[in-house]
A and B are shown apart, each in its own frame.
Chain A
Amino acid sequence: MTVSYGRYKKYHPWLYQPRHPILWWIKKWAYVRFILRETTSLAVMFYAVVLVLYVNAVSKGPEAFAAFSEWLASPLSISLHSVAFLFAVFHSYTWFNLAPKAMVVRVGTKKVPESVILGANYAMWAGVSIVLFWILTTI
């Protein structure tokens, strides 16, 4: 004998499960921020590609190097770099702020406070930037 439960099957409820919307991230600023943090990594990629092309130009000789340097100074390149720089800074800034979540450092039994870990990260960033700046301007 079969028992009818209408549209229900016994112990198997009729579940409603909508598809996750493609534009899920638009609804909340926190999600928009996340998408921005992830997509701004493309700016980092842009820098990597420019560096590879630059090295390639160097290997091809003085003319190619001069042509590439000229392109770098063009308004298009400068505007691209300005946007990429802003994106890369946003990308680095958002990731640096998340560092203390992953790094839990202990000295003895005491936990190193988040502000110290954050500060150390920023100090290292500044230090590396200064060293690079020095190398680029003096050599």
Chain B
Amino acid sequence: MTETDTHTTIEEVATIELEVFRYQPEKASAPSFDTFTVPLYDEWVILDALNHIKDELDGSLSYRWSCRMGVCGSCGMMANGDAVLTCAAFLKDYAPGPIRIEPLANFPVARDLIIGMDDFMEKLNRVKPWVVNENGKSLEEGEYLQTPAELDDFKQYTMCINCMLCYSACPIYGMEPEFVGPAVIALAQRYNLDLRDHGNEERMDILSADDGIWQCTFVGECSEVCPKHVDPAGAIQRYKVEATNSWWKSKLMPWGK
């Protein structure tokens, strides 16, 4: 391509329409959609288009974003009804458009594309997403050794970036907001399966409660939308097996631990 080809003006370039969900509670109590026309560059993702809208067309548009490279997990939105990280969703894949951009489903909307995530943060904290090890080794005893095979057991769960796409894909969470939810259970498993951790029992009380794993009916869409291939659906089903085994053990061998 020549220099002039790549540096065309906006008028000459193909465009695509974005129908953007707007909710500005101080102006209107009901949400609406605004349509914006943005340039359709091959290398542009939806987030680029939103930044273009905010910079050039309507500065009042509100949305969250940070790293623009699939690490921070803050730019999750619904594009044509699918939960995606907008930094990883290319405009050209939605051509000729229009693309309907909505805030993450199943969450309350605070403004435009910004959702309230208090519920998720509270639930995440509930399962103690850290290494619980009160009687840890002393420095003299040295480090904790873990083989690659042992790490492999939970490594995929460590990849979670808390983007909450799985909550948007989960119809159970939509209908039963009490449900602890996919990412939180996967993260609990991340620590349960870690050899350094001893918080399994404390987490069991939360995960095996009514609003824990048993709410899950294995729709499986959480694993489909996960940008980091964490497979929360798999984590939940594995935990169901584990919780069932431990329940039977406690009934058949109440003396054992």
Measuring CB to CB, which residues of chain A are less than 8 angstroms from any residue of chain B?
6-8, 13-17, 20, 24-25, 27-28, 30-31, 34, 38, 98, 101-104, 109, 111
Contacts and interface: CB of A to CB of B under 8 A. Distances in A.
Contact of B106 (A13, A16, A20, A111): A20
Interface residues of B, number: 32
Interface in B148-176: 149, 152, 171, 174-175
A109 B174 contact: no
Given A6-B26, A27-B81, A28-B81, A15 B108 contact: yes
B14 to A, nearest CB: 28
Most buried by A among B26, B31, B224: B26
Given A13-B111, A101-B237, A7 B217 contact: no
Contacts of A17: 107-109
A40 B53 CA distance: 47
Contacts of B108: 15-17
22 contacts: A13-B111, A13-B116, A14-B26, A16-B23, A17-B109, A20-B106, A25-B171, A30-B221, A31-B219, A34-B217, A34-B219, A34-B220, A38-B217, A98-B218, A98-B237, A101-B220, A101-B231, A101-B233, A102-B238, A102-B240, A102-B241, A104-B238
Contacts of A98: 218, 220, 237
B240 A30 contact: no
Contacts of A111: 152
Contacts of B171: 20, 24-25, 31, 34
Contacts of B97: none
